[in-house]
């Protein structure tokens, strides 16, 4: 594919934008405690929200049958329920829109033979990733409808990470279409940027763990965890490894530590790029990554010391998107062949 196919680029870019919006709305849904407000899933019927007072009361009564209301939100009024319902409903509607935006043009481009073999394979992978993302979303919600009013942080991490991977892969395809004859490359910078992308994905997983367990609401000090670099509760659970998959303090400690590692790798990336005397556009890409890393850490610290207010939590998640996208772009420009 070349620049002679702008409609395909626009199509994929629209998908990228919708994934970005969906993850941000998903983050707000999580931060506002709205994720379990819709207790059923109906692909077609679920498009229409409750409209009459009777329908709202019926929906609210259904919500009352599940653990979140019975254990946590038993004082919730109908008007308050409508607020949390709105965020989850919006999140699901954007998911449906994303599916239509991808599938309908995909079928059209396929029928009209505007996709070459490589692009058919790549967009089919995107279709698989999108379907997986939808499944993981409902699988995640189901975990909070059984006996505890909280979704599994493992399922949340799978759902969120798949969204970031789908976004990154879509962005990668767009780059190959916009720059089909890219000639520049740098083996060392390609390796460093690749390591950075992998590290960021691990950090995103732990960010999801922090969000799922609300681990950002303890040890709200920086750089130490209260008065210690490693709080005793970090290794309080037996066996020790469970502290870093299920313990609030342990998970927060890993997320903090990974932030430092990302920072050091970004500094090394910048230093190596300067030493290699790359061209101005490539250096601009490296500078962008470096700047976003500093901003992301800053907003992460601010979110932590303020007990993760909704607006700071949302900005921190948006920063993760821009950081991953800029890092993927660096992998692209420094890779020898695409």
**For residue range 206-236, what is the model confidence (pLDDT) as tens digits?**
999 999 899 999 999 999 999 999 999 999 9
Question: Are the C-beta atoms of residues 106 and 127 closer than 8 Å to each other?
Answer: yes
What are the structure tokens assigned to 241, written together? 């490894």
Question: Are the C-beta atoms of residues 37 and 85 closer than 8 Å to each other?
Answer: yes
Q: Enter the pTM of the model.
A: 0.92
The secondary structure of the chain, three-state, reads CCCCCHHHHHHHHHHHHHHHHHHHHHHHHHHCCCCCCCCCCCCCHHHCCCCCHHHHHHHHHHHCCCHHHHHHCCCCCHHHHHHHHHHHHHHHHHHHHHHHHHHHHHHHHHHCCCCCHHHHHHHHHHHHHHHHHHHHHHHHHHCCCCCCCCCCHHHHHHHHHHHHHHHHHHHHHHHHHHCCCCCCCCHHHHHHHHHHHHHHHHHHHHHHHHHHHCHHHCCCCCCCECCECCCHHHHCCCCHHHHHCCCHHHHHHHHHHHHHHHHHHHHHHHHHHHHHCCCHHHHHHHHHHHHHHHHHHHHHHHHHHCCCCHHHHHHHHHHHHHHHHHHHHHHHHHCCCC
Tell me which residue of 46, 210, 45, 162 sits closest to 37, measured CA to CA: 46
User: How many angstroms separate the CA atoms of 209 and 207, rounded?
Assistant: 5
User: How many angstroms separate the CA atoms of 57 and 73, rounded?
Assistant: 16
Tell me which residue of 95, 97, 119, 99 sits closest to 109, measured CA to CA: 119
Angle, helices 153-178 vs 6-31, to 10°: value is 160
Residue 245: Cβ within 10 Å count: 14
Residue 42: Cβ within 10 Å count: 9
pLDDT for 3 beyond 70: no
Question: Are the C-beta atoms of residues 206 and 255 closer than 8 Å to each other?
Answer: yes
User: How many angstroms separate the CA atoms of 216 and 206, rounded?
Assistant: 11
Model confidence band, residue 2 (pLDDT cutoffs 50, 70, 90): very low
**For residue range 226-266, what is the model confidence (pLDDT) as tens digits?**
999 999 999 999 999 999 999 999 999 999 999 999 999 99
Q: What percent of the chain has pLDDT over 90?
A: 77
**For residue range 25-82, what is the model confidence (pLDDT) as tens digits?**
988 998 888 888 888 877 777 788 899 999 999 999 999 999 999 998 899 999 999 9
- Residue 328 sits at the vertex; the CA angle it makes with 125 and 26, to the nearest 5 degrees, is 70
Q: What percent of the chain has pLDDT over 70?
A: 99
User: How many angstroms separate the CA atoms of 254 and 241, rounded?
Assistant: 12
Cβ-count burial 141-180 (b if 16+ within 10 Å, e if not): bebbbeeebbbbbbbbbbbbbbbbbbbbbbbbbbbebeee
Residue 44 confidence (pLDDT): 76
Extents of the domains making up the chain = 1-181, 183-338
User: How many angstroms separate the CA atoms of 161 and 204, rounded?
Assistant: 7
User: How many angstroms separate the CA atoms of 36 and 62, rounded?
Assistant: 12
């Amino acid at each position: 594919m070349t620049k002679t196919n702008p409609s395909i680029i626009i199509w994929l870019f629209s998908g990228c934008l919708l994934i970005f919006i969906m993850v941000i709305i998903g983050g707000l849904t999580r931060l506002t405690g709205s994720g379990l407000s819709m207790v059923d899933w109906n692909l077609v019927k679920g498009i229409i929200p409750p409209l009459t007072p009777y329908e709202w009361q019926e929906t609210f009564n259904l919500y009352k049958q599940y653990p979140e209301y019975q254990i946590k939100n038993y004082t919730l009024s109908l008007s308050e329920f409508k607020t949390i319902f709105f965020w989850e409903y919006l999140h699901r509607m954007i998911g449906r829109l994303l599916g239509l935006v991808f599938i309908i043009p995909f079928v059209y481009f396929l029928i009209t033979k505007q996709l070459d073999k490589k692009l058919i394979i790549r967009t089919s992978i995107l279709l698989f990733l999108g379907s997986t993302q939808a499944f993981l979303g409902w699988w995640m919600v189901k975990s909070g409808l059984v006996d505890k009013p909280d979704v599994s942080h493992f399922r949340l991490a799978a759902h969120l990470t798949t969204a970031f991977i789908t976004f990154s892969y879509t962005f990668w395809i767009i780059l190959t279409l916009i720059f089909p004859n890219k000639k520049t490359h740098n083996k060392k910078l390609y390796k460093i940027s690749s390591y950075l992308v992998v590290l960021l994905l691990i950090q995103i997983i732990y960010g999801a763990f922090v969000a799922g367990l609300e681990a950002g609401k303890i040890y709200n000090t920086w750089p130490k965890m209260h008065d210690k670099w490693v709080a005793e509760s970090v290794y309080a659970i037996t066996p020790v490894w469970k502290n870093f998959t299920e313990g609030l303090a342990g998970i927060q400690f890993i997320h903090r530590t990974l932030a430092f590692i990302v920072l050091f790798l970004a500094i090394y990336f910048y230093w190596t790029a300067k030493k290699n005397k790359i061209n101005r556009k490539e250096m601009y890409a490296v500078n962008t990554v470096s700047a976003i890393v500093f901003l992301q850490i800053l907003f992460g610290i601010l979110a932590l010391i303020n007990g993760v207010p909704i607006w700071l939590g949302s900005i921190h998640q948006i920063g993760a998107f821009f950081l991953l996208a800029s890092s993927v772009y660096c992998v692209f420009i420094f890779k020898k062949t695409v």
